[in-house]
Amino acid sequence: MAPRVRGAADPADERELLSAGDVARTIARMAHQVIEKTALDGPAGRSVVLLGIPSRGTPLAHRLADRIAEFSGVRVGVGSLDVTLYRDDLRRRPNRPLESTTLPEGGIDDSLVVLVDDVLFSGRTIRAALDALRDAGRPSAVQLAVLVDRGHRELPIRADYVGKNVPTARSEDVAVSLSELDGRDGVFLRRGASS
Amino acid sequence: MKHLLSTDGLDPATATAVLDTADTLKRTLLGREVRKLPTLRGRTVVTLFYENSTRTRVSFEVAGKWMSADVINVSAGGSSVNKGESLRDTALTLSAAGADLVIVRHPASGAAHRLASWLEGTGTAVVNAGDGTHEHPTQALLDAATLRERLGEISGRRIAIVGDVLHSRVARSNVHLLAALGAEVVLVAPPTLLPTGVHSWPVTVSHDLDSELPALDAVMLLRVQAERMHGGFFPSAREYSIAYGLNERRLALLPEHAVVLHPGPMLRGMEIASAVADSPRAAITDQVRNGVHVRMAVLYHLLAGEEEAA
């Protein structure tokens, strides 16, 4: 599989949706929303685990956890959940390398798991993640946080926390760059790129 | 990768990708109650064995089942092979019956390649699970996985393959794979148990085990294959064992970090002393454990991706 080059396209075909500053502010806002909705700093103190979906969901989950710790003083568990082996489109694409699955110590049983991904599109990745989660343990509840929701859902799935809603055409491509993997932060909309 | 027939010519990037996948699968399944992945649901895998096997067949079957493929075992005894059906007709029958992958073991060298050429265009993939004295590629991959796990890296390591190289498909597959991955390979065997043409292999040859041991990172022992020997390859089992068997005295000559591998089945007291086989330096049960993950990775690379245009 040819790696998708991020942040290197012809500027005429590319529109910046979120700047590096916007990405940081968006993650901070999502952190506040997670704290509020899960009441993780409340007296009941639910155990919350953020699981990033590789590749870009993993650094996002770590950043979100850092912000949550900063704002609430509570360190939530962080991990990653590779969904490749659970995808329904494996036979339609060239072979993909597997990415790592790491669960926080103590596992995810009876925790509130928040799945974290960069872009919510058809919803098929999240369906695969729910299947993968079932084999990894039994969380008390599952929520979903995404940096960008670009629409065009093919399954009855919706996110609990959305950084930014972006109306897109199917032919367009939403590319999230994160400094951990791509050297810089930002979200870009590209025209005419095939998915 | 369309078939897996030999490690000769397997490019190092593909081999490394399979080993990485195996490693990820191992870590994914570690400590899980339900060791089952839905990845190959609806795919059919047939094992076609014309020779006896315990570990290879069980390992492939477990690998297929953990990936949710349907695994069907066919052995020469108990199939139409006993009625005189040819290998070609058996292969075409299995393909027509819906096999997505045929895993074949056969006493004739080159059988897997012939099978693959007959199945050209049918979309059925072939894995060689041992053909005569030619190759056994998944054994070499699981040995490489075990060496990577124990030594960290294969590149630059010095590895000896000791014993009946002549009759060993495991040795051939390992020589090609280890050399491709950047290891220095030494074959240690009596001259009668080395194949002609060994000088063209990417290896050095020695007849003196004791002098090689102190510089090794790993020793791979081979079973003396009495069933393929018709005639005097060495004077006696006792003499072979004294010259080439890994006993406790020889184990002490190895560096502290060096590992001992054996593809099994072992002949304790012949090529390996019982105390050596059971010592923590031996990675023999690790090899079997890794075999399942390596074979899962092979199935994943052959069956999970997009179908290549024929």
pLDDT in tens, B205-216: 999 999 999 999
pLDDT of the residue at A43: 82
Which residues of B fall within a CB distance of 8 Å from A54?
Answer: none
- Domains of chain A: total: 1
Exposure string for A68-101, b = 16+ CB within 10 A, e = fewer: beeebebebbbbbbbbbbbbeebeeeebbebeeb
Q: Is residue A28 part of a domain?
A: yes
pLDDT tens digits for range A171-185 = 999 999 999 999 999
Contact B305 A91 (CB under 8 A): yes
Phi, psi of B146 (to 5 degrees): -65, -40
- Look at residue A92 and tell me if it is in a domain: no
Residue of B20, B21, B305 with shortest CB distance to A90: B305
State whether A93 and B34 contact (CB < 8 Å): no
Residue B104, Cβ neighbours under 10 Å: how many? 26
Residue A92 has a pLDDT of 81
Helix (H) or strand (E) holding B222: none
What CATH code is carried by the domain that includes residue A121? 3.40.50.2020
Question: Measured between CB atoms, does B234 come within 8 Å of chain A?
Answer: no
pLDDT per residue as tens digits for the range A17-70:
999 999 999 999 999 999 999 988 888 778 999 999 999 999 999 999 999 999
Residue A94 lies in a domain: no
pLDDT of residue A46: 82
Contact A85 B38 (CB under 8 A): yes
Q: Do B306 and A92 touch (CB under 8 A)?
A: yes
- Closest CA relative to residue B9, chosen from B177, B126, B136: B177
Residue B277 has pLDDT above 80, yes or no: yes
Which pLDDT band holds residue A11 (cuts at 50, 70, 90)?
low
Give CA–CA dist A97/B220, Å, rounded: 30
Which phi and psi (to 5°) does residue B156 adopt?
85, -5
B38 touches chain A (CB under 8 A): yes
* Chain A residues touching residue B24 (CB < 8 angstroms): 82, 98-101
Give the mean pLDDT of B69-86.
Answer: 85
Please tell me the distance from the alpha carbon of residue B85 to that of residue B87, in angstroms, as a whole number.
7
In a domain, A32, yes or no: yes
The secondary structure of residue A90, as a DSSP letter, is G
Work out the pLDDT band at A8, boundaries 50, 70, 90: low
Q: Is residue A7 part of a domain?
A: no
What pLDDT band is residue B296 in, cutting at 50, 70 and 90?
very high
- Spatial contact of B122 and B111, defined as CB atoms under 8 Å apart: no
Least confident of B86-90, B137-141, B174-178, B182-186: B86-90
Per-residue pLDDT tens for A90-137? 878 877 789 988 999 888 999 999 999 999 999 999 999 999 999 888
Residue A150 placed within a domain: yes
Residue A9 resides in a domain: no
Residue A135 and residue B39: Cβ atoms within 8 Å? no
Q: Could you tell me if residue A137 is inside a domain?
A: yes
Q: Is B169 marked as a binding-site residue?
A: yes
- Domains of chain B, CATH where assigned: 12-135+288-309 (3.40.50.1370), 137-284 (3.40.50.1370)
Q: Which domain holds residue A155?
A: 15-87+99-191
Q: Is the ipTM of this complex over 0.85?
A: no
Contacts of A51 in chain B (CB under 8 A): none
